[in-house]
């Protein structure tokens, strides 16, 4: 709409800006804000995608194979670490005292690496580590919700000879079991041999503990305290003490 007024003999005409022009300006401003917002979203998504792709090259936090933490390793490094772990001997104690460790080859201990690798790949797929778009979407949702990754336990396929395990326990019993011994006078040395408590290996109770230790990949868990039953010795008589000093 135009406004008219006269100044002397000259007529002046002023016109207001068209409504369409004002709408165009508002539309341009909204479009600019939308562009900024969209750019921020795209850059954020690109950063998350890059971070996700980088995380795909290593195993996620909290992943362990038979109790051995392998998070942060590559798939190949993790499998090699597990295979190496089962070459370590198993620490053994009898009655609280250490005895020679059990070597893996004695019981034909080995790991089926092909089956273990399949278990690892299956666990990674279930946790969204397959590299697919769906896996990225799951990762994005966890990041936005602040959800921490859960611990992932992957079973290794451990093989061994049960017959050799039983034979090992029998050898330990034959070597270390002994009946209670009474005190014995040693007149020549003017002393006596003190009584000794009898010990007997409980193979039935020790077996599951030993199997648990040989299945473990973590060095801290590759140890076993065998179950040993004790029998007190006879009470030393005063006569034995008297003979020791004659």
| pLDDT surpassing 70 at residue 237 | no
Q: Which of 168, 204, 191 is nearest to 240 (CA)?
A: 191
CB within 8 A of 130, min separation 6: which ones? 124
**Tens digits of residue pLDDT in 58-100:** 888 889 999 999 998 999 999 999 999 999 999 999 999 999 9
- Total H helices, total E strands in the chain: 7, 14
**Tens digits of residue pLDDT in 112-171:** 999 999 999 998 887 765 555 555 566 566 656 655 667 889 999 999 999 999 999 999
Average pLDDT, the chain: 79
**Tens digits of residue pLDDT in 167-208:** 999 999 999 999 998 766 565 656 656 777 899 999 999 999
Q: Compare 109 and 4 and report the one with higher pLDDT.
A: 109
**Tens digits of residue pLDDT in 12-33:** 555 555 555 655 655 666 666 6
CB within 8 A of 16, min separation 6: which ones? 1, 2, 3
pTM over 0.75: no
């Amino acid at each position: 709409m135009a406004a008219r007024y006269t100044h002397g003999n000259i007529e002046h005409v002023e016109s207001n800006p068209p409504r369409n022009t004002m709408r165009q300006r508002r539309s341009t401003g909204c479009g600019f804000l939308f562009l900024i917002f969209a750019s921020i979203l795209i850059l954020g998504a690109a950063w998350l995608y890059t971070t996700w792709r980088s995380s795909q090259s290593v195993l996620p936090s909290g992943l362990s194979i038979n109790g051995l933490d392998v998070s942060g390793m590559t798939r190949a490094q993790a499998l090699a670490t597990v295979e190496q772990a089962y070459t370590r001997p198993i620490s053994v104690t009898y009655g609280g005292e250490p005895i020679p460790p059990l070597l893996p080859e004695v019981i034909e201990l080995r790991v089926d690496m092909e089956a273990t690798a399949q278990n690892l790949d299956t666990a990674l797929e279930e946790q969204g580590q397959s590299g697919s778009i769906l896996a990225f979407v799951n990762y994005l949702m966890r990041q936005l919700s602040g959800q921490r990754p859960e611990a992932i336990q992957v079973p290794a396929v451990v093989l061994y000879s049960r017959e050799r395990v039983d034979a090992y326990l029998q050898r330990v019993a034959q070597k270390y079991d002994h009946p209670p011994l009474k005190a014995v006078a040693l007149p020549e040395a003017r002393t006596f041999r003190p009584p000794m408590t009898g010990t007997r290996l409980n193979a039935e109770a020790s077996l599951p503990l030993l199997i648990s230790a040989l299945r473990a990949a973590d060095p801290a868990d590759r140890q076993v305290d065998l179950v040993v039953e004790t029998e007190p010795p006879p009470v030393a008589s005063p006569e034995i003490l008297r003979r020791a000093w004659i």
